[in-house]
């Protein structure tokens, strides 16, 4: 367990060798949220990049318009030193088996932006092929925007195995610096810690706990007869104001910026909602992530055409929360 006062070292551009990644031919597989940002930042840092996509991808035209050579994943695997796997996590295994593994040679490197497929053993690269992680802490558009503004996004790096020629850590640091993360900070972790903490944060807080909290709070006010507009402002819209305070000042100093009434109310009611039982359920969620149950369920969901995900998206889209939200956002963000 990390102890207070024991911090991980934070690497920056000073520790990353720009020459190392600049000497590699990089194939960025996928041109979505992460792939596009990685490719553009790498190229602006002087790295030679081509894009690997499937033949009917609608993103081929965009990548070509933005000046990239686009080819198949298999061609990238045959011609590039480093393959940055910016594909949806649940298809890594099938693309790897069909289009990468048959061509892999000792000295090449596979790079991931999330540890899912490596930690949950969807992919097991042969000896002599490097396996590294460079995971920016934020979405692709922020990675690109920050880079263009002369800054970057914090990134995590991890090393599973060296390739036959290069030290995995030096390569990961060099790549992280080339996408701009060396301008702010790079933390070294493991595939397990990145994969599991990232999934846990999404499930317990960002995309699970928080979303369902907002939805239930909104519905509680609506069902008690309060106007939907008020319910939306109080339980959904204002989350940004608190999130911004936490982002810039942290939890403790956020409290200094809210009223005593809000602070006292938060204290007496927050602990009623999130109590020891909620913590026990969080531990259960973490356990299901660590033992691979979540990964297996997600792969099954993908295999069955994402039926639960599609149903949830449709229900949310047609919910009163979205109806009132869309109505208010049309006035707020004209």
List residues with catalytic annotation.
114
Residue 73 contacts ligand NAP per CB under 6 A: yes
Site string for ligand NAP, 151-190 (x = CB under 6 A): ----------------------------------------
Ordered strands of the 82-85 beta sheet: 10-11, 186-188, 155-161, 130-136, 109-112, 82-85, 25-29, 48-52, 70-71
Residue 90 contacts ligand NAP per CB under 6 A: no
Taking the complex as a whole, how short is the minimal distance between the CB of residue 72 and ligand NAP, in angstroms? Answer: 8
Closest CA to 154 of 191, 180, 115, 190: 180
| DSSP output for 200-250 | HIIIIIITTHHHHHHHHHHHHHHHTT--HHHHHIIIIITHHHHHHHHHHHH
Classify burial at 74, counting beta carbons within 10 Å of its beta carbon; exposed 0-12, middle 13-18, buried 19 or more.
middle
Q: Which is nearer to ligand NAP, 81 or 89 (CB)?
A: 89
Residue 123 contacts ligand NAP per CB under 6 A: no
CA distance 29 to 117: 15
Residue 195 contacts ligand NAP per CB under 6 A: no
CB-CB contact of 130 with 162 (8 Å): yes
Residue 95 contacts ligand NAP per CB under 6 A: yes
Point out the residue whose Cβ comes nearest to ligand NAP: 32
In the list 26, 47, 82, 113, the residue contacting ligand NAP (rule: CB under 6 A) is 113
Q: Which is nearer to ligand NAP, 47 or 53 (CB)?
A: 53
Taking the complex as a whole, how short is the minimal distance between the CB of residue 53 and ligand NAP, in angstroms? Answer: 5
Taking the complex as a whole, how short is the minimal distance between the CB of residue 261 and ligand NAP, in angstroms? Answer: 36
CB-CB contact of 86 with 28 (8 Å): yes
Task: Return the bridge partners of 157, or none.
Answer: 134, 188
Taking the complex as a whole, how short is the minimal distance between the CB of residue 296 and ligand NAP, in angstroms? Answer: 17
Q: Summarize as ranges the residues that interact with ligand NAP (CB under 6 A).
A: 29-35, 52-54, 57-59, 73, 86-89, 91, 95, 113-114, 135-136, 139-140
């Amino acid at each position: 367990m990390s102890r207070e006062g024991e911090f991980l070292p934070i690497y920056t551009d000073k520790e990353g060798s720009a020459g190392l990644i600049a000497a590699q031919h990089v194939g960025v597989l996928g041109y979505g949220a992460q792939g596009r940002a990685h490719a553009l930042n790498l190229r602006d840092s002087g790295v030679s990049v081509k894009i690997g996509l499937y033949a009917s991808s609608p993103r081929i035209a965009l990548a070509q318009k933005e000046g990239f050579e686009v080819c198949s994943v298999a061609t990238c695997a045959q011609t590039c030193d480093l393959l940055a796997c910016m594909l949806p996590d649940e298809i890594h295994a099938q693309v790897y088996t069909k289009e990468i593994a048959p061509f892999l040679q000792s000295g090449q490197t596979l790079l991931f932006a999330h540890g899912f497929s490596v930690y949950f053993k969807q992919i097991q690269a042969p000896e002599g092929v490097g396996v590294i992680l460079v995971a920016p802490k934020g979405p692709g558009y922020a990675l690109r925007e920050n880079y263009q503004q002369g800054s970057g996004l914090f990134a995590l790096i991890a090393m599973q195995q060296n390739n036959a020629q290069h030290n995995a850590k030096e390569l990961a640091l060099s790549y992280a610096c080339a996408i701009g993360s060396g301008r702010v900070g790079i933390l070294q972790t493991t595939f397990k810690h990145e994969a599991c903490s990232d999934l846990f944060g999404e499930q317990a807080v960002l995309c699970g706990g928080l979303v369902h909290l907002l939805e239930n709070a909104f519905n509680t006010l609506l069902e008690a007869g309060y106007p939907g507009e008020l319910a939306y402002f109080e339980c959904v819209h204002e989350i940004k104001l608190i999130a911004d305070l936490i982002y810039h000042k942290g939890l403790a100093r956020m409290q200094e910026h809210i009223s005593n009434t809000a602070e006292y109310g938060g204290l007496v009611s927050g602990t009623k909602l999130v109590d020891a039982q909620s913590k026990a359920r969080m531990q259960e969620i973490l356990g299901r992530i660590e033992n691979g149950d979540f990964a297996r369920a997600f792969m099954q969901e993908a295999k069955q055409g994402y039926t639960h995900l599609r149903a949830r998206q449709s229900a949310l889209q047609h919910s009163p929360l979205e109806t009132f939200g869309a109505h208010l956002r049309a006035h707020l963000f004209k």
